[in-house]
Amino acid sequence: MPEQPIKIPVQLSRLPLHDHGTWQTQVATPAQALPPVNGELIPQGLSIKPLLEAELDALLDIEQTTYSNPWTRGNFTDALKHGNWCDLLWQDQTLLGYFVAMKGHQEVHLLNLTVHKDCRSQGLGLLLLNVLLSKSLQEKAQWIWLEVRVSNVRAIAVYERFGFRAVGERKNYYPLAPGVRENAMIMSLRL
């Protein structure tokens, strides 16, 4: 029997439009990006929780079906060991997505953001970015940085919609195939 797509019974377009001059994106303003304790940023039926080692298998299933060169169990355990944010988005017992981010001095570096293949195009990437924004503002960060494959136009569009702007490129950053590498676009968001 084929796998049934995961249905998200929430309206994720409730996030306010924030005007950035010539373009608009659905992101929380700093005043609205408070801890999602009251459920304002996290719609009913969904929850954000820090990664526990016991949940690594569920996370690795998504990671390995998403990327040609996925992170390993060791990458995720190292991220946990070094105090990086590893937050998971759940609907009941179903893992929908996650992000890993590293705190620095007045900045946050987004290392990995992944949404389950059956849950894409439902606003969950923007939701995870809003959680990251909220945590970054709590830490008084001034910037969020990330790298993304130049060929990953879908992710680039999500980041641009959120307000990230391309600021450079890293040559031969991502492995593509044996002996072949792909450039990364460097993007940043000023908080």
- Round the average pLDDT of the chain to a whole number and report it: 82
Q: pLDDT value at position 3?
A: 47
- Please give the average per-residue pLDDT across 69-80, as a whole number: 95
CA–CA gap between residue 135 and residue 158 (Å, rounded) = 19
CA–CA gap between residue 112 and residue 97 (Å, rounded) = 10
Q: Is the pLDDT of residue 7 over 50?
A: no
Classify domain 23-190 by CATH number.
Answer: 3.40.630.30
pLDDT tens readout for residues 150-188: 999 999 999 999 999 999 999 999 998 888 999 999 999
- Please give the average per-residue pLDDT across 5-13, as a whole number: 43
CA distances for 6 relative to 18, 92, 93, 116, 141, angstroms: 29, 12, 12, 9, 34
Q: Is the pLDDT of residue 6 over 70?
A: no
Q: pLDDT value at position 40?
A: 55
